[in-house]
Amino acid sequence: MQRLVEIARDPHGALREAAREGKGVVGYFCSYVPVELIHAAGFTPVRMLQGPPPGEVAGRYMQPFCCSFARSLLEGLGDGTYAYLSAVVMPHTCDTIRNLSDLVETAAPGTRVMRLMVPTVTHTAEAADFMLAETEALKEALEDLAGEELDRERLFQSIRLYNRCRDALAGLKGSGLGNRALYAAYLAFQLMDPEEFLALASSLSRGPADRDARAREAGSAESGGAGVALVGGPVPQLEVFDLLQEYGLEVVWDDLCTGSRFAAGAVRENGDPLRALAERYLGRRPCPTKRDPDNRREEELVKGVAAGGARGVVFLQQAFCEFHSFDYPGLKKRLDAEGIPSVRLDLEHPFAPTGQMRTRLQALSEMMGEGR
Partner 1 sequence: MSEEKRELTEEEKADRERRKIKSAGAMRELMTKYYIEAKGAEGTDRHIAWITSGAPVEPLIAFDVIPVYPENHGAMCGAAHMNVELCEVAEGRGFSRDLCSYARGDIGSAITKGGPIGGLPRPTFLVACNNICNTVFKWYEELARFFDVPLFIFDTPFVRGDLPPHIEDYSVRQMKEYISFLEKITGKEYDEPRFVEVAARSLFASALWKDVLACNEHRPAPMTCFDAFILMAPIVTLRGTQEVVDFYQALLDEMRQRIEEGIGILPSERYRILWDNIPIWYEMRNLGKLFMELETCLVADTYTSAWTFEGVDAERPLESMARIYTEVYLNINLERMAEKIESLAERYGVDGMIMHSNRSCKPYSLGQYDLAKEFTRRTGKPALIIEADHTDSRWYDRAQVEARIRDFVENLL
Minimum Å distance from CB 206 to partner 1?
44
127 binding partner 1? (CB under 8 A)? yes
Stretch that binds partner 1, among 12-20, 175-183, 326-334, 357-365 (CB under 8 A): 326-334
Site for partner 1 in 78-117 (CB under 8 A): 92, 94-96, 98-100, 102-103, 106, 115, 117
- Taking alpha carbons only, the member of 338, 339, 317, 337 closest to residue 328 is 317
Using CA atoms of 86, 91, 96, 98 in order, give the dihedral in degrees to the nearest 10: 90
Number of residues engaging partner 1 in binding (CB under 8 A):
46
Collapsed DSSP state (helix, strand, coil) of residue 81: coil
**Of positions 10, 17, 129, 144, contacts partner 1 by CB under 8 A:** 129
Q: How far apart are CA 216 and CA 263, in angstroms?
A: 24
Rounded Cα–Cα distance for residues 314 and 342 (Å)? 6
The reply on whether position 253 binds partner 1 by CB under 8 A is no
Pick between residue 218 and residue 343 the one whose CB is nearest to partner 1. 343
Q: Which of 334, 263, 324 lies closest to 298 in space, CA to CA?
A: 334
Nearer to partner 1, 174 or 330 (CB): 330
SS (H, E, C) 99-144: HHHHHHHHHCCCCCEEEECCCCCCCCHHHHHHHHHHHHHHHHHHHH
Q: Which is nearer to partner 1, 42 or 288 (CB)?
A: 288
What is the nearest approach in angstroms of partner 1 to the Cβ of residue 285? 16
Q: Is 329 in the site for partner 1 (CB under 8 A)?
A: yes
For the bound state, the minimum distance from the C-beta of residue 307 to partner 1, rounded and expressed in Å, comes to: 25
Nearest CB to partner 1, comparing residues 106 and 356: 106
Among 217, 239, 242, 292, binds partner 1 (CB under 8 A): 292
Cα–Cα distance list, 22 to 61, 88, 178, 242, 266 (Å): 32, 17, 36, 36, 30
Among 28, 32, 43, 61, binds partner 1 (CB under 8 A): 61
3-state helix, strand, coil in the chain (%, to 5): 55, 10, 35
Residue 114 β-bridge partners: 89
Site of interaction with partner 1 (CB under 8 A):
60-63, 65-66, 92, 94-96, 98-100, 102-103, 106, 115, 117, 119-121, 124, 126-127, 129-130, 133-134, 137, 288-289, 291-293, 319-320, 322-323, 325-330, 332-333
